[in-house]
Amino acid sequence: MRILFSLLFAANALFAHTVQGRDADFLKHVSGTHTGPFLYLGAKHMVTGYDHLLFLFGVIFFLYRMKDVAIYVTCFAVGHSVTLLTGVLSGIHVNPYLVDALIGLSVIYKAFDNLDGFKTMFGFQPNTKAAVLGFGLIHGFGLATKLQEFNLSTDGLVANMISFNVGVELGQLTALSIILLLMTQWRRTAGFGRYAVLTNVLLMTAGFVLMGYQLAGYAWGAAA
């Protein structure tokens, strides 16, 4: 349960999960190929991406074999890589509030699934791999919207976006390694079985907060 609280605490800058400061200045003025900086920005964005990490935390919560972890994380990575690259390179724009609301929904879905909510309430179990892939596509659009705010130069854009995506994967592997290490330690204690349900209830609550905040932002923008 400590892992979830850590992720939520790290997200206290929660609703400011965007590119800011010197990173924003760099993106506003960058032109040409800059592999290293975009690798760094991709990794940083994923490591500080509380919404992506909460979803990943839910995905691996009950996965005990590394083979299963690898399969699900690959599904997620393929999904967000496709829409990140397609969104930026093809100029596909989606409303950032709605995309981020759906990312909040992905956290709700995974926590609900971990609680056997689909079997208990509806009598069926969705294809979990397909769901992780599908939500990965949504998370990728979330990444794309953060970059599209800067109207990036087309000079070197393909190379820069590939570098950014590789950075995202490296950041994901780094964060995932830390989460798995902490999860492994937690699973060895009696507290895991005792608090597994509560942790997923808190995870679902976090998803509702994220989704509600983004929908409120969308409604505010529509009314303005």
Query: Has residue 37 been placed in a domain?
Result: no
Query: Has residue 216 been placed in a domain?
Result: yes
Query: Has residue 203 been placed in a domain?
Result: yes
Query: Has residue 62 been placed in a domain?
Result: yes
Query: Has residue 11 been placed in a domain?
Result: no
Query: Has residue 18 been placed in a domain?
Result: no
Question: In this structure, how many other beta carbons lie within 10 angstroms of the beta carbon of residue 72?
Answer: 20
Q: Which residue, among 75, 97, 117, 100, has the nearest Cα to 204 in the 3D structure? A: 117
Query: Has residue 33 been placed in a domain?
Result: no
Q: What is the pTM of this model?
A: 0.89
pLDDT in tens, 73-120: 999 999 999 999 999 999 888 999 999 999 999 999 999 999 999 999
pLDDT in tens, 156-196: 999 999 999 999 999 999 999 999 999 999 999 999 989 99
Q: Per the structure, how many domains does the chain have?
A: 1
Query: Has residue 28 been placed in a domain?
Result: no
pLDDT in tens, 61-75: 999 999 999 999 999
Range of the domain at 160: 2-6+45-223
The CA distance from 62 to 27, in Å, is 39
